[in-house]
Every structure is written in structure tokens, then in C-alpha cells.
Structure 1
């Protein structure tokens, strides 16, 4: 790993100097002075923001072991090294000690690339070259027209549009301070055109080096085998059924006794929950999943793993960060009696006296026409334009294969539907909350009323345990409010309470706590701390909290 690390750190340091020289005028002048006439700087060391962006991008892609980035760097640095070595033949070039230093550093970089060639194994998408060419051609046309428009509007001299277009295009692609005798524009126009050039370069590089978006999604055979694993081992993890989300891919252990289901989001191979199947076979599925992630340059991460699974993942090099706790309710221990449940009992009785009633059915017991109506209501009552959920949501409703799921329908005194909940199976005797929707104009407390009704009537269906919502940072709210909590913990709790105004962090904890559940910790698993920001963005996209234009889903999936 030493050669690859040297190459990456070389690019990082060069990018840092390039950025610094772009904002530190005297340093930038020194770098330019040492890179002209008979003087040469090492590979990619040129003052400027654009060169800094380019070098930083190469450093990032090299860190992810992209084979395409290795080839590009080897080609560019090899050509530069050959040119520099040829130039050293001339006395006026080799008499400068700086040039020998530049030659040595460039040779060291090229040598590190050659010796560490096997460490750059990550494959890109086969469509990347065509995409990069299309982005480059289309982007150059669009940006050159925009540059021509800016030049035409701000030009202080009389010139044709063709001349302005030529000036804008040459300034986009030129690495020097290009000027034209017939064009005189304000400095901000030149800066804007240079910015367009940088954006275009980044777009082309991203298209050329992007990771493969995903492997094959879940097939019918995969789903059948996953359901067989759930039948045998489904009671181990309350999130296991959500592995059947059909945008996921799956990696199997050689024995077929375990599997890891995941989805690729923004270059992150994002799994959720525990591996499915026999825990003894989990390593056989985890290892090929990690190998596949590394082969494609993906960042491996797991959301919502249990402590048992986290321990197994840790043996394969992943680190753990506690995300929060899942609320688990044992039906046999739940009761509305006692002083501690007085508020909950009163709220339940108030809703019941208002005439509300709850109907509980398996999905397979609901006629198709009624199910279609329920799906439409669920879509109509959704909060926001995007269907949210990934780690604790199935993303579909009414599929014939999900017949063992349980639907709760809450109607008012006149029989109108006002809220619905859907639970997925958690082994043979458990349920896990999937979907929660209600009419925004309905009375408060309907969801709590429905959950309590389920817990009180669960034994009739053979249900012994129910998994409710996930409460992020629950321990912070619980410990931070206790007497004697330290200043750091109190500050952290205050910050989370502040952000709860928008993201319902604390309210979810309070809503779950009223059922007096068992709190099961859940963990985020990752390889490197530096990857956490990217994993966070990928998780937000997967859960539907962060949307990209044109890629959000607006309806529940109804059938395959």
C-alpha cells in the first residue's frame, strides 16, 4: 500500500500548493516565476485554482484506487517525465538545481505509479468514455455559447458575434491568459469564463471516472432465496424483511446460507440491517460484498446493523458508530395499567370515545379493489413529494408476495378512513413498522391509538413482539436530561433539540418512549472516518431526505 499512498499524498500536497498559490498572491507569483523560461516545476505543480481542482480530483480518484485515474496519471506524468529528461540534455536547463528536484519528484511519482500498479484495481462503468465525450462536447458547446453571450454584452469594442464566440471558446480551453486585440471585457467576465472552464473540466472528469452505478438488481430467483432465508432466520433481525426492496442488489455466500443486500448510492455500497441467513455463514457473504465494493471503487457502509452484526463486520475491517436505538415492544409485557401509563391510557380512551375504530388484517385478506384504495390514500397522505425510506421501509404496498404483511386501518365515527399503518413480518411471531400515514385534517393521536390497539390485540394474531420507529441519538436525549450530565453532553442534547424543530429527532424518541419499549442499539459501519460525510449524503439520498432533480420516486411501488 506504500506506493499508492505516496502517489495520493503527492497529489494532495500539489493540490494544496496550487490552491494556496491561487489565494496567496506572492506565492502564486513565485510559483509562476519558477515555471517559465529555463525552469520547470514538478508534475502538476502550477499556481491556480483550476489546476488545484484538477489535481485534487485526481487525488480523490486515486485514493479510491480507480484504474482509469491511474492510467491518466501514468500517461500525463510519464510524458512530462520524458519531456523533462530530454530537456535536461541542454546545459541551460540542467544548470538549475530546481530542475533536478522537479525531475526527481516527478520520477518518484511515476515510479510509485509503476510499482504500485496492482493497487489501482477499481473498475469504472464501461459507458464512461462515451459519457465523458458527450459531456465534453455538449458542455463545451453550451459553455462557449454562454461565454460568447457574456463577451458580446460586455465588450467595450465593436466585434462580431463570431469573434466573441472564438474569444470565449479559446479562453475556455486555453491554459494561458489569452487576449484578443478586438475584445475588451471587464475582469469579472474573464473570471466567469474561467469558472465555466473549471466546471466543464470537473464534469468531464466526473463522467470519465464515475463508479459503476450498480450491479444487477434483485431478480425473482434472488427474492425467492431471500424469502427462504427469512423463513428460516427471519426472527433474528427486525429489519430483515426490508432486504426485499427491489432496487437492492444481493451478494451471496458460497454456501447460499447468507446474503448481504445493498444499494449503490453516489458511489457508496449501502447495506442496511444485518446480513440475512445463518450467522455462521455471514462472513462468507460479507467478504465478497466488500471485495465487490472495492473492485468498483465503492465505499462500503452499513446502516442500522445490530451489535451482533457489527461485531462480525468489525472483524472484516469496518468501524462502528452508534446511530441510535430501535424501539422493540414485547406484547406480553405491554399494559395500559399503572400510573406510568396514565397519560397514554387517557389519550387512547379519548380517541376511542370520539368514535374511532381500528381494523387489523393481513394484506392477503384485503380484496384487490380495497388495497388499491389504500395505496392511493397512502400516496395522497404522504408528507412531501418523495417516497421516503430505505433501511426501515419496504417502498411498496399491495404486492401479492407481501401477503403476510399486516395492515391497520383507522376509521372515524362515520366509517371514513383517516389513517393507516402497515407492518412487515419479523419472523413468524413479530412485526416491524413499515408505513405510517394519516389524513392531515384528522384528530391528533390516531397513530398512537392504532399502535396501542395492535399491541392489545396482537396475541389474537400470534404476534409476540413489535418493532416501532428508530430513534436517532436516543441515548443523548435520555442521558443529557439527567441530573449531573456533563456540559458536552448537555450541549450536544441542546443542538439536537434545536435541529429537531425540522427533522423530528427528539419527537420520534418521545413518541416511542411512551410505549416503554426495549431499546435495541443500531450502528453505522464504515471503513474510514474520512468517508463519513459521503456516507451521510448517500444515506440521506437513500432515505429520501435529500433529493436530486429527476431521480426521486413519487409513488409507492404496487407490484413487480
Structure 2
């Protein structure tokens, strides 16, 4: 078999069977949902005789029409929300979709007198879903399951019932006759589905209680459905066995990727190849399984780890994505039917050739000399060489100097500082007198490399150039540490900034560069590029890997949230995850 044929087979293994069928069902679901909503908002009056006959035969009350309209409207909205989960083949979404399409069909056939086409299309879709049930195999949410959905729905229904009941009981003069306690209870319950009960309030109170009850009833159905179908997001945590396996792989192949050590973040999960010689580390956010860097371990074992990772994504309806992989890594991922775009460049400095001499280094040289005259000193040590009490103090300072509520970084950040579990990390501290004013942490990149992890400084220190001083002294200390190469910050869209600033750049390149400079006001895009460029590094491209263009917004949201630059607001997450 040729290599091209092998790659095509690998891509087909990533794409599940029945892909076209699922796409068709997804769009059909959206069409049926839209028809259902329009049948309520824009009612017609086509051939209601059959429904009227069924209603009379079943002895349905007049209010059944209003209730059926509420059911159709709520079901239409829920069906629209279900379409995306069906696209990801979630089994629970399929189960709910079958129930919802059946409800729309029954509501149209029995009580709702408008939009017969919506009922017929819902019936056809229900049959199609049942006939294709084998394609919907993605596991349900392992953390936020049906019990949370039930709890939220009951809470909203209880709140709606209480609000209507208090209005009825608290305004007896606004009610016709002398309704009993049970009548008020019955009216409050029926209001949740838009049906009038045995109590007859004055017009404005009747409209108010009906509106409140229906809003809470529809809200319970929709929010309960959200919790029932929300993307699986396992609680982050690196198991001890997985950490041991990763450290063993780093000990043998750690020099292959400067981002390899960041696989030891404690908010990541790991999948190993069948042989245990390769691994993919990732975190699940917003339905995206976001891996970072290249797979760890033996290149020949990468396919086994990648296939297991993709299989887990299929089983849980996660969107697979990789942030910050190298060109070699992107080449391997693309063979599995994924796509890749250049995300930016990593700055790698050759420590053996670095020097402050020359005109190009004039700015760094002057900043370093100025701080030395001001009394600043720098200490470079392995984490294992720092006393425990001093290490704890440095970790405290790093936390205090962070400046933001969320930790920044994911693909090139370890999320901990001066930890005893990382004895080979290199800690660089800047001091003025006895006061520590700056801190850098570098993680190992194999036996002869370092990768920048943490860059913190006391914001009360007004002197510029402190980071330049610490990096310069680290590079000077590299020969005694046995280090030949140092990876600095990752510069996002560096090539685009550079192209847009060249003479003769086209209008699109200039416009894109201006947009990136505007974004630099919030995300330091241009600032990091210019800072890295001071040290005359070699630029190594890094890539973002994703399944399809339609998945890019979701992947971008997950990547921004992981890196601490946006995504879902933390306050919203705390509310949703209670």
C-alpha cells in the first residue's frame, strides 16, 4: 500500500461512518425547528378539521390550544439547540430529539390548529432519527449529567409556581368568587404550561400570572436541556501514574520539543499510545479537547497516541484541536484528516553564540548597564538548589505579582512556580539590596535546553529593562548550567506583523497588521514580538490544528480561555458549575 493510501485510510479512521447522514439530519433538525417556531409566531389556518375532530373526541378543553402552542414553541427552540449536539453525535441529544419531535407531532395533531406542515416534517424527522440511531454513540456528559439538569428544571418550576401562587393568594380582591387553596395551587401549576385554571383573576392579573408561569416553564425546559446536553468537560487533574509516565518519556525524548515539559501541568489529562512510548496531553474546555505542543515520546509511536486521542474525542463528542505544535507535529496531525494554520513563532536563542556586542544589541546593552549602575543584581539557580523557605517566599511573590485573576498561559506555562516537584527548573531572581524585584522560571528542554515559563516582576519597581537584565544574565550563566539553547516567549502572528510593516506590503497585509497592533492594547501581541526580537533569536513556526473551518470559532474560544486571554467569563462559569 502506498503512503498516500495509508494517509487516506488514517483520515477515514478519524471521520466516523455516516458523516453525510449526520450532516443531513443536523440541517433537517434546524429546518423543522424553524418551522415549529414559525407555526406559532406566524400562525395560519390550514385544514383544522382533523385536529378539531381529535380534540372533540378526546374532550380537550379550550385552553389545550394555548398549551399546545407553548409546547410547540418551546420544543422548536429546544430542537434548534439540539442540532449542534446531534452534529457531534451525542447519544443523549438523539434521545431528547426523538422525544421533542414526537411532542411537536402530537401537539400539532391534537390541539394546535396552525402550521400542519411543521407537524408532518417533525414526524418525518422523528422517523429518520429512529432509523439512524446507530450513528449517535457519543457518551453523555461525565460530570454534569441528568441529575443537575433535573435539579435546575425543578428549581425554575418551583420558582415559577411560587411566584404565581403568591400573586394569587396575596390579591384575593382581584379574584372572581372565593377560590379555595387547592384552586390556587392548580392555577399556579397550570400557568407553567400556559393553561388557565379554575381561578379567574381580573384581566391584568390573569395576563401577568400567565406570562410569569409560561416564562418559568419555558425557561425550565430550555435551561434543563442545556445542562442535559452541555459538552463534557471533565474536572482537570493529572493522575500520579500519568505524571510518572510523562516524566519517563521526557527523560528519554524531552529534547525533541521545547513545550514538552508543559505536559506536566496538573490541569491536563493524558492518553498514551498502546506501547506506552508516546503520549498526547490535553484539557477539555467548551467541548474542545485542546492538546498543546507535539506528542511526547518516540516519533514512530505518535500515531498510536494520536489515534487513541481522536477515539476519545469521538466517544465524548469533543472537537479535537492542538495549539502550538511544531511543523513536524502539524504534518503528522494533518494525516488524520485535520487542518493546520500557522499561529505564530517561537523565539529560540542560541546560548553558545549570544553576545551583547554589536549595534543590533545596543538597546539591550544600555538597559542592562543602566540597571547594574542602579544596584540591581541577578541570581541564577536550579530550583533544587534553593532552600525550602526561600522557595516558598518566591512562589508567594510570583502569585502576588501575577496581576490578573486567571493564570495566563497554557501551551507554554506550567501553572506553578518554584515547586519541589520540578527540581531541574532554573529560577532567575533580580534583587536590589535585599529586596527581590523580579522572577523568571525556565523549565527543562531536554538535558541541554531551557524554555521560559514564568516572567514576573514587582510592578512597584519603576525601572525598565529588568526582564532584559535577567535574561541576559541567564544566557551568560548557560555554559555553567550545561545549556546550549533557550526558548523565550511565543510571538503570536509574528510573520503577519513583520509582513505588514515591510515597504511595499499589500493593503490586506497592512490592514491585518494594523488589526493586530490594535489587539496589542489588550493581548500584548506586538509587545511580545518586539521584546523577543531584541535577543536576535531564531524564529520557529508553531501551528494551530483543528478539524474544519466551522470549528475554528469554538477552538479559538477554548484556546483563549486556556491561555487566560478571554473565553467564557469566570463569573459565568462559577454560576453554571455550581
Note whether the superposition's TM-score is higher than 0.5: yes
Match of 1:441 among 445, 460, 465: 460
CA separation in 1, counterparts of 2:197 and 2:240?
59
- Pick the aligned partner of 1:419 from 432, 438, 447: 438
- SS of equivalent to 1:130: helix
Aligned mate of 1:63, from 87, 100, 110: 87
Map of 1:53 onto structure 2: 77
Q: Deviations over 1:444-503 (max 9, x none)?
A: 211121111112221221111111111111111110011111111211111221121122
1: distance between equivalents of 2:502 and 2:185? 68
1:307 is matched with 327
Cα offset for 1:150? 8.1
C-alpha distance after superposition, 1:344-366 (max 9, x if no partner): 21111111111111100000001
CA distance in 2 between counterparts of 1:177 and 1:489 reads 63
**Whole-angstrom distance in 2 between the partners of 1:319 and 1:332:** 37
Q: Report the Cα offset of residue 262 of structure 1.
A: 0.8
Q: How does 1:536-551 map to 2 (within 5 A)?
A: 536-546=556-566, 547-549=569-571
The Cα shift of 1:430 comes to 0.6
1:234-291 CA-partner distances (Å, limit 9, x unpaired): 1111110000112211111011110001111122111111110011111100011111
1:15 pairs with 30, 33, 37, which one? 33
Aligned match of 1:38:
50
Which of 445, 462, 468 is the aligned partner of 2:482?
462
Paired with 2:326 and 2:208, the residues of 1 have a C-alpha distance of 54
Name the counterpart of 1:142: 159
Residue 417 of structure 2 is matched in structure 1 by: 397
Q: Does 1:500 align with 2:520?
A: yes
The 5 A counterparts of 1:358-369 are: 358-369=378-389
> Does the 8 Å CA contact 2:398/2:456 hold for their aligned counterparts?
yes
Cα RMSD between the aligned structures?
3.4
2:240 corresponds to 1:220: yes
Q: Which residue of 1 aligns with 2:264?
A: 244
CA contact (8 A) 1:157 1:184 kept: no
CA distance in 2, matches of 1:178, 1:511: 71
1:90 maps to what in 2? Answer: none
Structure 1 residue 301, shift from structure 2 partner: 1.1
Note if contact 2:326-2:541 (Cα within 8 Å) is conserved in structure 1: yes
Q: How has the CA–CA distance of structure 1 residues 141 and 326 changed in structure 2, closer, same or farther, with 3 Å as cutoff?
A: same
DSSP-derived class of the 1:541 partner: helix
For residue 384 of structure 2, give the secondary structure of its aligned residue in structure 1: helix
Aligned position for 2:132: 116
Provide Cα deviations, 1:281-338, integer angstroms capped at 9, x if missing partner.
1110001111111101111111111111111111111111221111111112322111
Distance 2:170 2:498 in 1: 61
Q: Distance in 2 between matches of 1:208 and 1:497?
A: 41
Pair 1:480–1:138, CA change in 2 (3 A) = same
Q: Structure 1 residues 164 and 224, CA, compared in 2 at 3 Å: closer, same or farther?
A: same
User: 2: distance between equivalents of 1:169 and 1:475?
Assistant: 62
Q: Distance in 1 between matches of 2:34 and 2:494?
A: 40
Structure 1-normalised TM-score?
0.85
1:202 aligns with 2:226: no
Q: Which shifted more, 525-534 or 161-170?
A: 161-170
Q: Structure 1 residues 394, 183: CA separation in 2 closer, same or farther (over 3 Å shift)?
A: farther
* Contact 1:499/1:505 (8 A) holds in 2: yes
Q: Which residue of 1 aligns with 2:43?
A: 29
Local SS of the residue matching 2:323: strand
Q: Are the equivalent residues in 2 in contact too, given 1:17–1:47 (CA < 8 A)?
A: no
Distance in 1 between residues matched to 2:350 and 2:166, nearest whole Å? 68
**Counterparts in 2 of 1:493 and 1:440: CA distance versus 1, 3 Å:** same
Distance 2:34 2:229 in 1: 21
Cα distance in 2 for partners of 1:514, 1:168 equals: 70
**Cα offset, 1:39, TM superposition:** 6.1
Name the structure 1 match of 2:536.
Answer: 516
Task: Please state if 1:535 is matched with 2:555.
Answer: yes
State the match for 2:149 in structure 1: 132
Question: 1:52-105 CA deviation, whole Å, 9 max, x = no partner?
Answer: 4212111111111011121222344457768999x9xxxxx9xx9x96x66864
Is residue 217–residue 250 contact of structure 1 (8 Å, CA) maintained in 2?
Answer: no
Aligned mates of 1:183, 1:66 — CA distance in 2: 47
Of stretches 55-64 and 192-201 in structure 1, the one that deviates more from structure 2 is 192-201
Q: Unmatched 5+ residue regions in structure 1?
A: 88-92, 553-560
5+ long unaligned stretches in structure 2 = 1-17, 53-67
Distance 1:346 1:151 in 2: 78
**Could you tell me how far apart the structure 1 residues matched to 2:186 and 2:366 are?**
77
TM-score (norm 2): 0.83
Residue 447 of structure 2 is matched in structure 1 by: 428
Q: Tell me, yes or no, if the aligned pair for 1:306 and 1:522 is still in contact at 8 Å.
A: yes
- The residue matched to 1:137 in structure 2 has which SS? helix
SS state of the match for residue 43, structure 2? helix
Aligned residues, how many? 531
Q: Distance in 1 between matches of 2:372 and 2:170?
A: 70
Equivalent position of 2:11 in the other structure? none
CA distance in 2, matches of 1:397, 1:238: 18
